[in-house]
Amino acid sequence: MVEKLRFGDGASINKPPFFCGLNYQFWKVRMKIFVESLDKGIWDAIENGPFIPKFEKECASIEKSWSQWTDAENKKAKFDCIAKNIITSGLNSDEFFRISQCASAKEMWDTLEVTHEGTNDVKRARKHNLIQEYEMFRMLKGESIVEVQKRFTHIVNHLMCLGKVFDKEELNIKILKCLDRSWQPKVTAISESKDLTSLTTTSLFGKLTEHELEMNRLNVQESEDKQVTNIVLKASKNKNK
């Protein structure tokens, strides 16, 4: 309930997602989606810094005074102000004061990123650890496909946020190889009938979940049939006594 309240705050197409200092990766992705939905130019200001109108003079770039800006330049330069307003509107007081003295939206964004994700060296170390987790990933005993999907997606999403690139076939092969021996017939069937280069991981997990539900249904049916058989046999024995 606490997490719902924290992340429910700001969950609107008209308000930026709210960040209370927890789960930065979640907020970061949502904020990018929110900003890009408004204007790609705003996200460019966050990612690459503010646009500063300049003119060339004697092989040098000189900043224009504000009065010299064209309407197009003024609009583009304003993206940084809009971006700063969006970022600060999505922060609690502690996070706001952390970036309140930053001069640009990019500086604000970078400050939050370093604070909650660490420096490039820290990111590299985290990336190596996650890659090792990915390489060693296996289905746990008694684990459902939904649980496998949750763990797998968590690792992959974090790696992608740190710059790791995957193609569909690589992820699909990894998923199929992580399943235990009981899944081998289904793994073989999918590998032979589906194009793993175009199948999405969501679709693959969907097919595995369907198969799991069907297997569970058959197991329940077999158990019930066995119980009925035992009852009939018991009744027959009692009758013959």
Cβ(139)–Cβ(178) below 8 Å: yes
Average pLDDT for 137-157 = 94
- The Cα 155–Cα 153 span in angstroms is 5
Residues 131 and 213 both lie in one domain: yes
Structure tokens at 56: 């060339």
Arithmetic mean of pLDDT over the chain: 87
Which residue's structure tokens are 């009939």?
Answer: 232
pTM of the model: 0.64
Residue 240 lies in a domain: no
Q: Any alpha helices (H) in the chain, and if so which ranges?
A: 2-8, 24-38, 40-48, 71-89, 93-99, 105-117, 120-135, 145-161, 168-178, 184-193, 201-240
The domain boundary residue, chosen from 59, 88, 117: 117
Domain shared by 29 and 42, yes or no: yes
Residues 182 and 96 both lie in one domain: no
Per-residue pLDDT at 166 exceeds 50? yes
Three-class secondary structure of residue 81 per DSSP? helix
pLDDT digits (tens, 9 = 90+) for 87-133: 999 999 999 999 999 999 999 999 999 999 888 888 889 899 999 99
The domain containing residue 50 runs over which residues? 2-117
Of 152, 138, 148, nearest in space to 212 by CA:
148
A 10 A CB-CB count for 150 gives: 12
* Single-letter amino acid code for the residue at 2: V
As beta bridge partners, residue 63 has 54
Q: Is 52 a member of any domain?
A: yes
- Write the pLDDT tens digit of every residue in 13-28: 789 999 999 889 889 9
Report if residue 241 sits inside a domain: no
State how many domains the chain has: 2
Compute the average pLDDT of residues 39-56.
Answer: 92
Domain termination residue (choose one: 117, 138, 168): 117
DSSP label of 19: B
Residues 104 and 187 in one domain: no
Most confident of 67-81, 94-108, 222-236: 94-108
